[in-house]
Amino acid sequence: MIERLQIGVPELDKILQGGIPRGFVVAVTGEPGTGKTILCLHFIAKGIELNEPAIYVTTEESRESIINQASQFGWDFRKAMNENKLIIIDAIMRSNEDRWSINKLLPEVLIAKVIEAKKSFGYSHARLVIDSMSAFWLDKPVMARKYSYQVKRTLYKWNFTIMMTSQYAITTSDAFGFGIEHIADGIIRLRRRIVNNRLWRFLVIEKMRQTAHDTRVWEVDIVDKIGFRLIRPAAYSRADFSLPQKVQEKIIKAKQEAERT
């Protein structure tokens, strides 16, 4: 029987047959404002609730920002840190005086610090979030797959279940470097649309190995003091979220040319 880890969003866990298979690397992808970080906070908070140690790597917000966001939904991350249940590795403030900070956005630096944090918990299973991996290849997107594989291959031995976020551009819905999708065991894709002068958010599970998962597009919302929630299957199909074929072909051609240079 497959052991599954609850994400902490009841409706999402339900359509994943109970959660993410233990030991998986799951990519959470989407444009800014779609709820990637909040979904990851759920994953960490659920682990803390179940007495599973957790590590959160933040590359685009400070540690204090992550703690404050969690508190908005009733999760006391500071208390969990004081009780040695949670380590937040800050990759944006980059302080040499802070043990849980990294001062270079390099995959080998990230890996070393995550392993150091894991050793402080012992060798039992732990949850890990890297939010986001895109920060490691913003100036060299062709390295995305290599870096993602390097992180997965090395940390696989350290008994983690991992969520990694990846940014998509608002204007083109194009990834800032294809990498996570190719190495991930699961992909949760988040999208946004403006309809009738209102922001709508959507979720679709594009892949989850060893799981007979739901394949519909779901309307989602971020509820004050509660967090991420699936509302209902959306009145849109996957095709509604795809770029026109000509645009997709141009993007693929541009990537191929960039990789040859």
Cα separation, 174 vs 167, whole angstroms = 9
Cα separation, 1 vs 99, whole angstroms = 39
Task: Using DSSP, state whether 44 is helix, strand or coil.
Answer: helix
Residue 155 belongs to what H/E stretch? helix 144-155
Residue boundaries of the structural domains of the chain: 4-260
Q: Considering the entire predicted model, what is its pTM?
A: 0.88
Pick the CATH number of 4-260 from 3.90.1150.10, 3.40.190.10, 3.40.50.300, 3.30.360.10: 3.40.50.300
- Provide the CB-side half-sphere exposure for 205 (13 A, CA): 23
* Strand intervals (E) in the chain: 4-5, 20-21, 25-30, 54-58, 86-90, 126-131, 160-167, 186-195, 198-208, 218-223, 227-233
pLDDT in tens, the chain (261 residues): 899 999 999 999 999 999 999 999 999 999 999 999 999 999 999 999 999 999 999 999 999 999 999 999 999 999 999 999 999 999 988 777 899 999 899 999 999 999 999 999 988 999 999 999 988 887 787 788 899 999 999 999 999 999 999 987 544 445 545 678 889 999 999 999 988 889 999 999 999 999 999 999 999 999 999 999 999 999 865 555 554 555 455 555 655 565 555
Cα separation, 110 vs 136, whole angstroms = 10
Task: Using DSSP, state whether 259 is helix, strand or coil.
Answer: helix
